[in-house]
Structure 1
Amino acid sequence: MAELASLVQRLEVAVGRLEAIGGQGGAASGAAAAEYVDAFDEIINGPVAEYLSLSQKIGGDVQKHADMMKQAFSAQKQLLVVASSSQKPSDATMTSLLQPMSKIIQQVTNFREVQRTSPFFNHLSAISESVPALGWVAMAPKPCPYVKEMQDAAMFYTNRVLKEFREKDKTHVDWVKAYISIWTQLQDYIKKYHTTGLSWSKTGQVASASAAAPAAPAGGCPPPPPPGPPPPPMDLSATSGGGGGSDDDRNALFASINKGTAITKGLKHVSDDQKTHKNPNLRSGGPQVRSGPKPFAASASSPKPAVCPAPTRAQPPVLELEGKKWKVENHVGVQDLVISQTELRHVVYAYNCNKSTLQVKGKLNSITLDSCKKMGLVFDDVVGIVEIINCRDVKIQVMGKVPIISVNKTDGCHIYLSKDSLDCEIVSAKSSEMNVLIVKEDGDYTEFAVPEQFKTVWDGTKLVTTATEIAG
């Protein structure tokens, strides 16, 4: 049954392409349309198939995420098939055509949000940050730069995957290469076939909202048979049984319509004294328009209904060691969070903490603050990296040494460096209100602001970017 369904679907696609190619004056455009559908199949059978295979090999949440991505690419191919044999529809219809793919993209993004404690969180984040690239079909006239922008958004997390697994498991390294290759080849594909936007057929019917309905899953029931031929055209020469007019009346009606703007010349002019909105007396004598019931108006004495805020479910606070990861989550107003039993292989992951202070003693691998507000972090030594992601108003104090501090999507970050950590590299992106405080000989600190504004010029051979100060 599955093979029959697949065969019927392939026949329908082939018939649609043949009809587009055989249309009057549309042979060239139909062939080009069929060509770009086949070219997209090469992407699906190439880097997408390799990415899916490696995701299955890794398993777990990565495989579940890949199954969603497979559906997203299938939905995009379905849209390309529609565009190859149909003319461009209206904006409202286009929104309906994009709906199946948009829902899958939303599912991919939501899956990452509910799996923040997953050991493959970086894998999930790389996919979620870049999957909107499939929306290039609606990004005329510059779809290719949009895909490049989404690919760059994934680089932050793919680099973290490479750093974590480069020496451990080559499968994850190959997984990153295959996934990045998808967007690279998609850009080449768009440059060749859809330079200024999705290419639609010049022949065929205008695409309808039902054209991009998701295909039946493998193994399900076969698709319904194609619709029968349209009904014969209505015979306008015959009078209807409902009391239709004669041929002369119908011809007179069409003649008056064909007059265009001259059709209003026969209308009678209405003077101001005959207009009811300027003469109340005419309204009183004419037919009364029945008005509907007045809207309910609560009196001052009547109590107003109380508006109950939507209940929020507070997550339980967590401070525990799971494997090699210290999990610090959902703490509010706790100033004495301490992790003292650390080892060099340990990592600390603090998530959703508010108005709290965390002290980490000893030497460990890395520390991450994610989605924290008004959070303080004090630590001794980190041999890897300290990462601040999606935070607000955080203060970081280094007592010992740290090689790299990364700040991403954070507003308000103060970093206090010790004498041993003055050679630390601070990497920031999409962040504001960042300050680095350097310790002086007397133990006090001098504050320096991290630039947020940059100037880029072309020197004849390359772009040169320098930091600028905000004047004013």
Structure 2
Amino acid sequence: MSVTGFHDIISGPLADYSKISQKIGGDVAEHSKLVQDAFKAQMDYLKLASESAQPPQSEVVNLLRPTSDKISAIQNYRENHRSSAFFNHLSAISESISALGWVTVSPTPAPYVKEMNDAGQFYTNRVLKEWKEKDKVHVDWVKAWVQTLNDLQAYIKQYHTTGLVWSGKGVAKGSIPPPPPGCPPPPPPVIDFNIGGAGDGAAVDRSALFAEINKGQDITKGLKKVTDDMQTHKNPTLRQGPAPFKATTVKATSIVKPTKVEKPASFVKDGKKWMIEYQKENHNLVVDNAEMTNVVYMYRCENSTLTVKGKLNSVTLDSCKKTSIVFDSLVSSIEFINCQSVQMQVLGKVPTISIDKTDGCQIYLSKDSLDVEIISSKSSEMNVLIPKGDGDYTEIPIPEQFKTRVTANKTLATEIVENKG
């Protein structure tokens, strides 16, 4: 039943997602083939679990490798197609495909799938925002993928509530079978109760045995005396021996992650898009003569500073750490996604600042940007610095804590909770 339930996901919402992906075509279609392969690899693993006993933890990694390799291929495809017109589609899948790692989670794997679904929500929302007015097919694509993960979560709740269930029968394919049973132990020796050793069938003479028992305290006279060199408290060397047995602990197995490869830093212009990636310890990055149709995309830069000269369309910082950006003016917006300890300074005007899943963001505004709109979600330690006019700034934190209540009209009313600490 467990395998049948998972097959229903593959033939149901996943099949819809694949069909719509082929209709969209391009990178989305190619990416969907990798996703199908990943689900098929998990199907094989679930079939193995339904037919076999759970293998040793040391062998689970090898059995999970086909699934983990497919997950890596899906994520690497996104990394190698960052300039794709469907980058948000690729990112939505790459951020949430790790949901297939639920087979290594216990005792509650279902919430893990929901977390992965939520992780891809940022990009599915961007797909909806970009395409809902252009082409409804992309809206159906989002619904099919989200439904696939929702059905996966429901499937786990029904069949594997506390973790992957193994059948307990047979030996998992690829595992080492247990050794064959050894020879049975020899039968116990036959005790001859004929004290006299007579073997002629006469009655057993037990008189000698009872005589020994009736000696009372004298029965111990024949025992050897324990000398000082035999006593452990007087001879410490006798206490030295092998260390006591310690049970080894086995860590929970996780999906094998690909080895991180340090990619070379790049600074290239691809059409109207400036791609700045993997820059480290570089504070001399400059985009000069920017045009209003240009966009800047910074990815995985660390401890670096970028200066943009000229007015351009938009700026995005994705997965950057300790990175700063200074620019003149923007037509659209600047976005911070999955960043840590970042700073920005606008010298002219910026209409919108978006902060998502970012910890630590310092925003230096100019006098021309005081009408800016700042949109934040799932972020912390955000501060806006407003110029006073004397070269100094007033620092104001962006609220992170809110209180929501149900009104008399059965709607929600939310207000800021000020930090008194």
TM-score of the aligned structures, taking structure 2 as reference length = 0.69
Residue 429 of structure 1 and its aligned partner are, at CA, apart by 4.1
Name the counterpart of 1:196: 162
Residue 44 of structure 1 and its aligned partner are, at CA, apart by 0.4
Per residue, is there more helix in 1 or in 2?
A: 1
Q: Please report the RMSD computed on the Cα atoms of aligned residues, expressed in angstroms.
A: 4.4
When residues 47 and 403 of structure 1 are mapped into structure 2, their CA distance, relative to the original with a 3 A threshold, is: farther
Aligned mates of 2:350, 2:264 — CA distance in 1: 32
Q: Tell whether 2:90 aligns with 1:124.
A: yes
Aligned mates of 2:351, 2:366 — CA distance in 1: 12
Q: For 1:350, give the aligned amino acid.
A: M
Q: For 2:289, give the aligned amino acid.
A: S
2:125 to 154, 159, 177: 159
Aligned residues: 365
Aligned pairs (5 A) from 1:167-206: 167-201=133-167, 205=169
When residues 185 and 360 of structure 1 are mapped into structure 2, their CA distance, relative to the original with a 3 A threshold, is: farther
When residues 277 and 129 of structure 1 are mapped into structure 2, their CA distance, relative to the original with a 3 A threshold, is: farther
**Partner SS for 2:46:** helix
Aligned pairs (5 A) from 1:245-394: 247-249=187-189, 273-274=229-230, 279=235, 315=264, 317-320=266-269, 322-329=270-277, 330=279, 333-335=282-284, 337-344=286-293, 346-351=294-299, 352=301, 354-364=303-313, 366-370=314-318, 371=320, 373-383=322-332, 385-394=333-342
Name the counterpart of 1:48: 14
Name the counterpart of 1:210: 174
Q: For 1:359, give the aligned amino acid.
A: V
Residue 235 of structure 1 and its aligned partner are, at CA, apart by 8.4
**Partner SS for 1:448:** strand
Residue 150 of structure 1 and its aligned partner are, at CA, apart by 0.9
Aligned mates of 1:175, 1:132 — CA distance in 2: 19
Aligned mates of 1:278, 1:99 — CA distance in 2: 58
Aligned mates of 1:372, 1:360 — CA distance in 2: 22
Aligned mates of 2:391, 2:382 — CA distance in 1: 21
Q: Deviations over 1:251-283 (max 9, x none)?
A: 9xxxxxxxxxxxxxxxx9998733799748999
Residue 449 of structure 1 and its aligned partner are, at CA, apart by 1.4
Aligned mates of 2:288, 2:237 — CA distance in 1: 87
Say whether the 8 Å CA contact 2:295–2:312 is kept in structure 1. no
Say whether the 8 Å CA contact 1:413–1:434 is kept in structure 2. yes
Say whether the 8 Å CA contact 1:122–1:157 is kept in structure 2. yes
**Partner SS for 2:307:** strand
Higher mean displacement: 53-62 or 185-194: 53-62
Aligned mates of 2:190, 2:45 — CA distance in 1: 43
Name the counterpart of 1:23: none
Aligned mates of 2:238, 2:166 — CA distance in 1: 57
Aligned mates of 1:95, 1:368 — CA distance in 2: 37
Q: Which sections of structure 2, spanning at least 5 residues, go unmatched?
A: 192-223, 240-260
Q: Which sections of structure 1, spanning at least 5 residues, go unmatched?
A: 1-32, 212-231, 237-243, 252-267, 284-311
Say whether the 8 Å CA contact 2:328–2:349 is kept in structure 1. no
Name the counterpart of 2:244: none
Aligned mates of 2:36, 2:402 — CA distance in 1: 40
Name the counterpart of 2:34: 68
Say whether the 8 Å CA contact 1:353–1:375 is kept in structure 2. no
Name the counterpart of 1:221: none
Say whether the 8 Å CA contact 1:129–1:150 is kept in structure 2. yes
When residues 69 and 276 of structure 1 are mapped into structure 2, their CA distance, relative to the original with a 3 A threshold, is: farther
Say whether the 8 Å CA contact 1:147–1:183 is kept in structure 2. yes
When residues 68 and 248 of structure 1 are mapped into structure 2, their CA distance, relative to the original with a 3 A threshold, is: same
Aligned mates of 1:413, 1:443 — CA distance in 2: 21
Higher mean displacement: 175-184 or 91-100: 91-100
Aligned mates of 2:57, 2:130 — CA distance in 1: 45
Residue 233 of structure 1 and its aligned partner are, at CA, apart by 9.0
Aligned mates of 2:189, 2:405 — CA distance in 1: 73
Q: For 1:325, give the aligned amino acid.
A: K
Aligned mates of 1:184, 1:281 — CA distance in 2: 66
Q: For 2:305, give the aligned amino acid.
A: S
1:78 to 21, 44, 53: 44
Aligned pairs (5 A) from 1:88-127: 97-127=63-93
Say whether the 8 Å CA contact 2:283–2:306 is kept in structure 1. yes
Name the counterpart of 1:148: 114
Say whether the 8 Å CA contact 1:325–1:349 is kept in structure 2. yes
Aligned mates of 1:419, 1:147 — CA distance in 2: 46
CA radius of gyration, larger in:
2
Residue 37 of structure 1 and its aligned partner are, at CA, apart by 2.0
Residue 234 of structure 1 and its aligned partner are, at CA, apart by 8.5
Say whether the 8 Å CA contact 2:267–2:274 is kept in structure 1. no
- Percent identity between matched residues is 51
Say whether the 8 Å CA contact 2:383–2:398 is kept in structure 1. yes
Aligned mates of 1:282, 1:331 — CA distance in 2: 62
Aligned mates of 1:38, 1:314 — CA distance in 2: 42
Q: Tell whether 2:410 aligns with 1:450.
A: no
Name the counterpart of 2:250: none
Aligned mates of 1:151, 1:235 — CA distance in 2: 55
Aligned mates of 1:169, 1:413 — CA distance in 2: 35
When residues 102 and 335 of structure 1 are mapped into structure 2, their CA distance, relative to the original with a 3 A threshold, is: closer
**Partner SS for 1:388:** strand
**Partner SS for 2:264:** coil
**Partner SS for 2:384:** strand
**Partner SS for 2:12:** helix
Aligned mates of 1:279, 1:465 — CA distance in 2: 77
Q: For 1:450, give the aligned amino acid.
A: I
Q: For 2:383, give the aligned amino acid.
A: N
Residue 134 of structure 1 and its aligned partner are, at CA, apart by 1.3
Name the counterpart of 2:352: 404
When residues 463 and 97 of structure 1 are mapped into structure 2, their CA distance, relative to the original with a 3 A threshold, is: farther
Say whether the 8 Å CA contact 1:401–1:418 is kept in structure 2. yes
Residue 80 of structure 1 and its aligned partner are, at CA, apart by 2.3
Say whether the 8 Å CA contact 2:405–2:414 is kept in structure 1. yes
Q: For 1:375, give the aligned amino acid.
A: S
